[in-house]
Amino acid sequence: MVGIVLISHSSGLAAEVAALARQIGGARVPLAAAGGTDDGGLGTSPDQVAAAIKDVDRGDGVVLIPDLGSSVLTARLLESPGSVVIADVPFVEGAISAVVAAGGGASLDGVLAAAEEAWHVRKL
Amino acid sequence: MNTQFFAAWIQEIASAVRAQRDHLTQLDAAIGDADHGANLDRGFAAAGEALAGASPQTPGALLVLVGSTLIRKVGGASGPLYGTAFREMGKLLGDTAEVSPGRLADALNAALSGVQRLGAAAEGDKTMVDALAPAVRALARAVQEGLKTEEALDAAAAAAEEGAKATIPLQARKGRASYLGPRSVGHEDPGAASTALILGALRAAGSR
């Protein structure tokens, strides 16, 4: 199963979006939240993100979903073509789409495509 | 310029960042999230500690260690960006023990390319690139003209300062300040300001 890492400036934001995505998309998906700095402040910790990637990697690839700013830059430092890829998607909607697709057994490309569909889901 | 020179550079950066910490934070408070001074201060202090602990033997190894430490310790967007800059410099220098001004210009150019690859910023976007790119050009020109090392570093530092000041009228197109749109006009970009400090520290290391 494809693993997913949610990267945010805020530890709370990453953890709560992960909880929401898990509830909607299923608890079986390897999903980790990496938010905030090592000392609990707002920011990004490359060490936390690297550990999260390791944690959710089941050999089928990992999708990184960053929120903005340094989350994106940190994700880019840790991407690895074909195995650890970044989804350039809205954070909440993209996370949910990705988790649902991963839970359905989609491939790495499939999960990425599902996450990107979140761009086209209108609310009204 | 040998390993000792580059260690002196990092020390000069750490003390300049500490001295300008509040100023950088004020610049960041105007158009960002008011953490640039504190983030860089933490990062370069950690870099100094890492160097004291590991005593790297070549300029390249030293710069890679500084870069990796900044990536891990800074916490904001400047961590990956400056971290990449120093790592790219170190990688380009490889095992060279004595770095010529021409080689330093190549290394700074590699730093610029790394920053632009990661952050996708161009000149004029109101970012650190607006200070770094003119500094790289000034250093390369000074080398071509055969200036002495001190003069070449002085030219690079002056170009970075000028580039940073020139961000004041610009509207941000990258980073947190870009959310402000036209309201980002009239403020110096904190990343360009800290890049000017870093190039100023290079000049200071050269005249030690």
Interchain CB contact of B21 with A (< 8 Å): no
Taking CB atoms and an 8 Å cut-off, how many pairs form between chains A and B? 44
Half-sphere exposure of B123 (CA within 13 A, CB side): 14
- Interface probe with A: pick from B28, B31, B36, B39, most Cβ of A within 10 Å: B39
Contact A40/B at CB under 8 A: no
Q: How far apart are CA B86 and CA B114, in angstroms?
A: 9
Give me the percent of chain B exceeding a pLDDT of 70: 100
Distance, in Å, from the CA atom of A112 to the CA atom of A77, rounded to the nearest integer, reads: 18
Domains of chain B (ranges plus CATH)? 3-206 (1.25.40.340)
For residue range B170-183, what is the model confidence (pLDDT) as tens digits?
A: 999 988 888 888 99
Q: What is the DSSP string of B158-182?
A: HHHHHHHHTTTTPPP-SSGGGGGGG
User: What digits encode the pLDDT tens for the residues B109-132?
Assistant: 999 999 999 999 999 999 999 999
State how far the Cα of A36 lies from the Cα of A45, in Å rounded to an integer.
Answer: 7
**Spatial distance between the Cα atoms of B176 and B102, rounded to a whole number of angstroms:** 35
**How many angstroms separate the CA of residue A69 from the nearest CA in chain B?**
6
Each domain of chain A, given as residue ranges in start order, spans 3-54+61-119
pLDDT in tens, B1-47: 999 999 999 999 999 999 999 999 999 988 888 889 999 999 999 99
The number of beta carbons lying within 10 Å of the beta carbon of residue B97 is 11
Active site residue A9: yes
Angle between helices B3-19 and B36-54 (to 10 degrees): 150
* pLDDT value of position B51: 97
- The neighbour count for residue A63, using CB atoms within 10 Å, is 27
- Which has the closest alpha carbon to B136: B152, B124, B151? B152
Please name the residue that has the structure tokens 């999960």.
Answer: A111
Helix (H) or strand (E) holding A30: none
Q: What is the ipTM of this complex?
A: 0.81
Model confidence pLDDT, tens digit, residues A74-114: 999 999 999 999 999 999 999 999 999 999 999 999 999 99
pLDDT score of B11: 97
Please tell me the distance from the alpha carbon of residue A40 to that of residue B17, in angstroms, as a whole number. 23
CA-CA-CA-CA dihedral for B201, B21, B81, B137, to nearest 10: -40
Q: What 8-state DSSP symbol labels residue B25?
A: H
A3-54+61-119, what's its fold? Rossmann fold (3.40.50)
User: Token digits for B132?
Assistant: 């770094």
